[in-house]
Copies of this chain bind each other. A is one copy, B any other.
Amino acid sequence: MSKSHRGEWFQALFSDLTSGLRKLLKIPISHHIFFVSSGTECMERIIENTVAKYSLHFVNGAFSKRFYKTAKDLGKSPQNIEVPLGKSFDFNKIKIPKNSELICLTHNETSTGVMLSLHEVYKLKRKYPEKLIALDVVSSIPYVDVDYDLVDMVFFSVQKGFGLPAGLGVMIVSPEAFKKSSLLKTKAVVTGSYHSFADLSKYESRKETPETPNVLDMFLLCNVIKDMQKIGIKKIRKLIDNRSKLLEKTVESSQFSYLVKDGRFRSKTIHVFRDKKDNSQLMQFLEKKHLIVSRGYGELKESFIRLGNFPAHSDSQFRSLISALNEYLKR
């Protein structure tokens, strides 16, 4: 189940995979594509490579909080703007501190099901063009359609939107973000070792990775992207939208209740809701039907359920889920 990561076979895979990603996600040729081992690693490498001291974190759940904690762990002095679970931000009222070097945002908070408006993110970049922006799209890719001219770093892992075995992270890095990491190096800031942007880029130019990577996952991702290309990304996004609407209809016309009250910020790919009458009954019912859903994240573990709506879920799987929910409601 593996092949050597040095030599022509791997270089051809690397080429295929990066050009597939560029086509599917419209990534400009100017941007680097770096492969690491998880979304969490992406957070660490982004802070190490683009922050001397101050990052600013929009925190509205467990994953945005982890990004903030990562910066603290790495000895930086991060700042945060925090809102309660299930809420988004009032972007118009937010003033970005002058000293912020990097603004970190979680496009789709997997823990709460809040999806930020990219329009607001782009407005932020236009207002503060000199600040770098990093966007976590772990659970919204490939549904999300990013304008890479207005976001400097975008990252994801492959076990959610691409339905693949865990163990691979992908970072898309703008020339400006890369320049920042070079600047930090000249100032003797430690930007990491084998996964510094400098080392990743040196190997990228040879169509390789610094370390022995998860070759199997890269191979699988390359092929899943080819499958997605055949279907067409527009059609895939439309499918996610349609299924999302269907699920929303069921939830909103029933005793179920979304964690995210404001429909404008409700995620299309992660639906977090509960049965107001008895959530444990709902969980037991689905379990008996062998429908494996996630429980709420952290403190919401017992009170909410989380449903993924990813391209890897087949339509028939999704329809069984909707029928089961309706059957539950009709008991």
Contact = CB atoms under 8 A, between A and B. Distances in A.
A167 B210 contact: no
How many identical subunits does the complex contain? 2
Contact of A37 (B4, B164, B214): B214
A92 interface: no
Contact of A73 (B74, B166, B192, B294): B192
A50 to B, nearest CB: 15
Contacts of A213: 38, 166-167
B37 A194 contact: no
Q: What's the dominant secondary structure at chain A's contact region?
A: loop
Contacts of A75: 188, 190
Nearest to A47: B193
Nearest to A196: B73
A165 interface: yes
A101 interface: no
A212 B2 contact: no
Interface in A1-30: 1-2, 4-5
Interface residues of A, number: 43
B37 A193 contact: no
A39 B193 contact: no
A329 interface: no
B5 A193 contact: no
Interface string A223-250: 0000000000000000000000000000
Interface in A176-219: 188, 190, 192-196, 199, 210-217
Interface of A: 1-2, 4-5, 36-41, 43-44, 47, 66, 69-70, 73-75, 157, 159, 164-168, 188, 190, 192-196, 199, 210-217, 294
The 3 closest A-B pairs by CB, nearest first: A167-B214, A37-B37, A40-B211
20 contacts: A1-B165, A2-B159, A2-B164, A2-B166, A37-B37, A37-B38, A37-B41, A37-B214, A38-B213, A44-B192, A44-B194, A73-B190, A75-B188, A75-B190, A166-B214, A166-B215, A167-B168, A167-B213, A167-B214, A190-B190
